[in-house]
Amino acid sequence: MPVIVVGGLLLVLVPALLVVAARFRPGPSAGTTSSAGRAVPESAWPVYPPGQDRPSAPDFAVGTLDGGRFVLSEQRGRVVVVYFMAGWCLTCVPEARALARLYAEYRDRGLEVLAVDAQFDETPADLERFRRLVGLSPPPDYRWAIDRDLKVVAAFGVRSLDTTIIIDPNGRIAYRDEVPTSYDILKRVVEKILP
């Protein structure tokens, strides 16, 4: 019974916290907006400096919906976007669309995208419904995984859905946020670190 109550509270509190966080985004800046339509100055991005000052990304392995396995350390030399979402998360839809666009544009240049469902008890059917909800035809073709044991969530210290982590080709974290992120911001960060 306590697990059900906690799960129900999380279903209510997480979206509410995301709405509150979106309202407290930084003020206007030319040409850069969040997926909520608010301007975000480039100086407010949580971008880590180049080189050794960037923290190393923790290695992880997770099974993907296509029956494969995604191992972060096998992606060296590529830019990797790890996006934490859930099948019921409506605030996650705009960024999932932005990531599909970004992936289509940059995959041939070394971009890999992994959407990690942080709701451990969801099913592949739940995730497929979310992919259809994204509204693209065909649905986004980047990699999808359900973090059944929450090891990826724990490794990155994820506290909310809509968390985006961009890892540079050397396996270091170049960018991290915990709010819906627009295509423009994702593109600028990826372009800065692509080999």
- pLDDT the model gives residue 28: 31
Q: At what angle do helices 93-106 and 124-133 cross, to 10 degrees?
A: 80
Domain borders along the chain are 2-193
| Reported pTM | 0.76
Name which of 4-13, 59-68, 78-87, 153-162 the model is least confident about.
4-13
Residue type for 67, please? G
Burial-class residue 147 by CB neighbours within 10 Å (0-12, 13-18, 19+). buried
Report pLDDT digits (tens) over 73-132.
Answer: 999 999 999 999 999 999 999 999 999 999 999 999 999 999 999 999 999 999 989 988
The domain made up of 2-193 has a fold known as Glutaredoxin (3.40.30)
